[in-house]
């Protein structure tokens, strides 16, 4: 009887662990020339959707501030702002799907989270990704986001070129 309970507990633990791994996409860094080429071909500096024009503003940094307990990792943090140039509210129809940060032949891919920032105007949408790679600061990268129009499922790409990775000290 105890053996069956133990076996059931082990199976349940592995099942829950497996589901938790599959249920969220972990950030990844990889080389993929075809993906990089495709992203550069598709991405635009300014995107026209439903009569509005959008651009991407970014702030990339790594927190290297000394003091307190020193963390084992100091990942790249990506703050992203989708901005409507017409100063109109951003439609709920638009969903930021993925973030790509391109560093030479390397691509960091992740799913950014919406950042609740009540100080941001309604013509800006704030997103954040906190678990990026530990790339050097002072380098320049290109940042691309994919945007899905909810009703049509059409995917568009918006790029912010030549963005510097700052360091917080």
Residue 114 has pLDDT above 70, yes or no: yes
The model's pLDDT over 67-83, given as tens digits with 9 standing for 90+, comes to 655 556 789 999 999 99
Q: Which residues, 6+ apart, have CB-to-CB distance to 144 below 8 Å?
A: 39, 43, 99, 100, 101, 102, 157, 158, 159, 160
| pLDDT reported for residue 160 | 98
| Domain made up of 26-168: CATH architecture | Sandwich (2.60)
Quote the CA–CA distance of 36 and 159 in Å, as a whole number: 12
Q: Is the pLDDT of residue 109 over 90?
A: yes
Please give the full DSSP string across 32-63, using - where no structure is assigned: -HHHHHHHHHH-BSSEEETTEEEEEEEEEEEE
3-class state of residue 25 by DSSP: coil
Domain ranges (residues) in the chain: 26-168
pTM score = 0.80
């Amino acid at each position: 009887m105890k053996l069956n309970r133990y076996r059931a507990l082990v199976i349940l633990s592995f099942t829950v662990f497996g589901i938790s791994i599959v249920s969220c996409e972990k950030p990844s860094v990889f080389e993929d020339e075809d993906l990089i080429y495709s992203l550069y071909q598709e991405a635009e500096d300014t995107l026209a959707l439903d009569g509005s024009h959008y651009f991407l503003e970014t702030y990339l940094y790594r927190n290297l501030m000394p003091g307190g307990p020193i963390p084992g990792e100091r990942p790249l943090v990506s703050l992203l702002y989708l901005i409507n140039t017409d100063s109109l509210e951003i439609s709920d129809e638009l969903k930021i799907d993925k973030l790509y940060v391109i560093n030479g032949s390397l691509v960091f891919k992740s799913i950014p989270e919406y950042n609740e920032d009540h100080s941001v105007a309604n013509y800006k949408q704030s997103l954040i990704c906190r678990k990026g790679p530990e790339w050097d600061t002072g380098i320049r990268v290109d940042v691309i986001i994919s945007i899905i129009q909810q009703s049509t499922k059409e995917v568009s790409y918006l790029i912010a070129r030549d963005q510097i990775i700052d360091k917080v000290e």
